[in-house]
Amino acid sequence: MKSALRWISAALVATGVSAGWSGHAFADVKIGVTVSATGPAASLGIPEKNTIALLPKEVAGQKIDYIVLDDATDSTQAVKNARKLTSEDHVDAMIGSTVVPNSLAMIDVAAETTTPMISMAAAAGIVEPMDAKRAWVFKTPQNDILMATAIAQHMANHGVKTVAFIGFSDAYGESWFKEFGKAAGLAKIKVVANERFARNDASVTGQVLKMMSQNPDAVLIAGAGTPAALPQKTLKERGYKGKYYQTHGVANNDFLRVCGKDCEGTWLPAGPLLVADQLPDANPVKKSALAYKHAYETAYGAGSVSTFGGHAWDAGLLLQHAIPLALKKGQPGTPAFREALRAALEGTKDLPASHGIFNMSVNDHAGLDQRARVMVQIVDGKWKLAGD
């Protein structure tokens, strides 16, 4: 009891509050979470939701409350969730959402309410270009350009001169086409087709026939989760014999299950977590990736770990780093604490996580570099670390 009172007194002094003013500890730190646990992105959102349950309930002696909502892969619901979390639950920070359109839609709420937000979606547009609104927004997945460059380099190394592109008809697909177009141009690879499909489409035959009519050396499918299997299965059905590439949006076992033998031999970039056991011991991410893998599989079973859950884990690690620093500047539940939390997130340096090493800055709210990617191939229905 005496040690607890000493801690409270020290914390009050550190935040500029008179120890004689209060005999009460700070309010709990509240973290609001919105994930796509249902809908087309459920195979991504479920492991994220599962991971939130593994995050610590106390940081620096301060109790942490997590309020978790499902946005059903719907951007309108994601905004409703964000408004509820900020206006009714008065959270100190938000984690979410799972997909790019939802995360983009939440930015205004984060900025209006001055609430730090950590997205679990990939597009660079979530945190770029930096402005007054995005100053409140961070993200844990790798930027599309980081992964697109890896694909283009791999294609060039394997003799690919032409590629047909098909992506989601939303911000994910648009971001990937933009970033891959840049990377392909630098690698002297010509994009000969540009098609789109919706996450819930039942057929892409028309798009596939247009792609195949260009006789490309390779195809790139820019989708996420199980819906990304549809174009590949259709291409296989129609007899396409070239090289297949997917994005890191498919790096989970549900995709392997749905795509089956049609995805054998496919190449993709992924976070090191996907093949953590196969990484050389010298890899700087291996230890932190295996730590998450062990925690998740202890709770949910061998082989259950997902790279998407890793994005939630990494959001938790960022907050575990930032909360003790923010507690020195203000009390949970106050604008001062939220601003201190934002500043602490922005100041993150050399933080090992499940996907990479985070180094944030005023102009970089993604914070990952080439250590956050590896090339992987699907071999015998499993993920295999590629040597090149």
Structural domains present in the chain: 2-142+292-371 (3.40.50.2300), 144-270 (3.40.50.2300)
Starting at the earlier edge strand, list the strands of the sheet with 374-379: 190-197, 162-168, 218-222, 243-246, 267-270, 374-379, 382-385
- Sign of the C-alpha dihedral computed for residues 235, 236, 242 and 246 taken in this order: positive
CA dist 165 and 155 (Å) reads 13
Q: Give mean pLDDT, residues 198-221.
A: 98
Q: Give mean pLDDT, residues 356-369.
A: 98
Q: Mind listing the pLDDT tens digit for each residue in 149-182?
A: 999 999 999 999 999 999 999 999 999 999 999 9
Q: Give mean pLDDT, residues 365-380.
A: 98
Residue listed under structure tokens 């892409």: 204
Q: Give mean pLDDT, residues 254-283.
A: 97
Q: Mind listing the pLDDT tens digit for each residue in 6-44?
A: 433 343 333 333 333 333 457 899 999 999 999 999 999
CA-based nearest residue to 247, from 382, 102, 380, 375: 375
Q: Mind listing the pLDDT tens digit for each residue in 307-347?
A: 999 999 999 999 999 999 999 999 999 999 999 999 999 99
CA-based nearest residue to 127, from 347, 344, 346: 346
Residue listed under structure tokens 């670390």: 385
Instruction: Judge whether 331 and 17 are in contact, CB under 8 Å.
Output: yes
Q: Mind listing the pLDDT tens digit for each residue in 42-59?
A: 999 999 999 999 999 999
Q: Give mean pLDDT, residues 228-245.
A: 98
CB proximity list for 239: less than 8 A, separation 6 or greater: none
Q: How many CB atoms lie within 10 A of CB 182?
A: 14
Q: Give mean pLDDT, residues 239-258.
A: 96
Q: Give mean pLDDT, residues 353-371.
A: 98
The predicted structure's pLDDT at residue 282: 96
The predicted structure's pLDDT at residue 387: 75
Q: Give mean pLDDT, residues 223-236.
A: 96
Strands (DSSP E) contained in the chain are 29-35, 58-59, 62-70, 93-96, 117-119, 137-139, 162-168, 190-197, 218-222, 243-246, 267-270, 351-352, 357-358, 374-379, 382-385
- CA 247 to chain centroid: 13
**CA dist list (Å): 191 to 181, 217, 219:** 7, 10, 9
Rg of the chain in Å (alpha carbons): 22
